[in-house]
């Protein structure tokens, strides 16, 4: 995983060049500062403006659906943190370009360029149609709660194929809700602090061998819908919890709306976000 070029002076940083896609997004902005300590050069990309570019960064605006541009983007890269693409429900045509075609372009280019590892931002919405009474591990059946969730299932399957066929390792991060603080009661369960997110990425990059791994991105919250035992070899130990935010959402007695799917399934509002198909 690290640079073994004998002509290169002894490095203080483990990686020569890391690629961060989706660098202008919520989590990309949180991660950029941390990556400076991990790599000599951090190549940052997005389709949105990237803001100020640090001395150690190489910045480029690239549409992941542009095959040639993506192949150029992967040149000289040791590992990839892939946060790019659409992160909410959207029309299928948009998801197709960003989350399916774009992801294929990324993996195809990574394999051809000899990249050894990708940290892939999957989502808890790949399994969002499991009920809130279930505790899920990495072997839980895929049950996407939206077309967005379907694209994340595709990403997990594509990354599995590239590991089995070419040995390209991937850690799939089924990220919950990573914001400054939870925005609703559901996020008290799915909350992932920025600090824990950065640590999760660090563990995913620095663990010696990962194969094809799935880990849930959540902090040490009081209520748990997921079990990361099968990914314990990554060494991820969340330090934060949504407990400090519980006062924002006072506990109430169960409501009479027992059939509300947003309350019944782990995906919350996403289970109703997809398009209604017209009847024939």
Cβ pair 213, 160 in contact under 8 A: no
Query: Where do we find the tokens 């748990």?
Result: 224
**Dist. CA 111–CA 113, nearest whole Å:** 5
Distances (CA, A) of 34 to 15, 37, 115, 122, 155: 13, 6, 21, 20, 25
C-alpha angle 22-115-213 in degrees, rounded to nearest 5: 75
Take residue 57 and report the two structure tokens written for it.
Answer: 């960064």
**Dist. CA 10–CA 15, nearest whole Å:** 12
Q: Which of 107, 120, 148, 162 is catalytic?
A: 148
Residue 148 falls in the annotated catalytic set = yes
Which residues are CB-contacts of 184 (< 8 A; sequence separation ≥ 6)? 249, 268
Tell me which residue of 260, 102, 97, 234 sits closest to 174, measured CA to CA: 234
The residues annotated as belonging to the active site are 148
């Amino acid at each position: 995983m690290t640079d073994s070029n004998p002509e290169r002076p002894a490095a203080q940083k483990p990686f020569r060049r890391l690629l961060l896609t989706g660098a202008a997004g919520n989590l990309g902005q949180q991660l950029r500062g941390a990556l400076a300590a991990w790599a000599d050069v951090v190549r940052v990309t997005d389709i949105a403006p990237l803001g100020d570019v640090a001395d150690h960064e190489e910045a480029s605006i690239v549409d992941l659906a542009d095959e040639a541009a993506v192949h150029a983007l992967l040149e000289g890269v040791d590992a990839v943190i892939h946060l790019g693409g659409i992160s909410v429900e959207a029309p299928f045509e948009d998801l197709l370009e960003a989350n399916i075609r774009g992801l294929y372009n990324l993996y195809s280019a990574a394999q051809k360029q000899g990249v050894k590892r990708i940290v892939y931002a999957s989502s808890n919405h790949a399994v969002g149609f499991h009920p809130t009474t279930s505790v899920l591990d990495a072997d839980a059946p895929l049950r996407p709660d939206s077309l967005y969730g379907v694209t994340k299932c595709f990403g997990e399957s594509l990354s599995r194929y590239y590991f089995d066929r070419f040995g390209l390792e991937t850690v799939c991060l089924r990220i919950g809700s990573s914001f400054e603080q939870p925005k609703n009661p559901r996020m008290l369960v799915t909350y992932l602090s920025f600090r824990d997110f950065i640590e999760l990425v660090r563990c995913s990059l620095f663990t010696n061998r990962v194969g094809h791994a799935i880990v849930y991105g959540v902090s040490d919250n009081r209520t748990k819908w997921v079990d990361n035992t099968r990914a314990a070899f990554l060494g991820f130990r969340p330090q934060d919890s949504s407990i400090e935010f519980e006062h924002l959402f006072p506990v109430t007695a169960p409501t009479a709306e027992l059939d509300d799917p947003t309350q019944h399934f782990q995906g919350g509002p996403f289970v109703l976000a997809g398009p209604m198909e017209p009847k024939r």
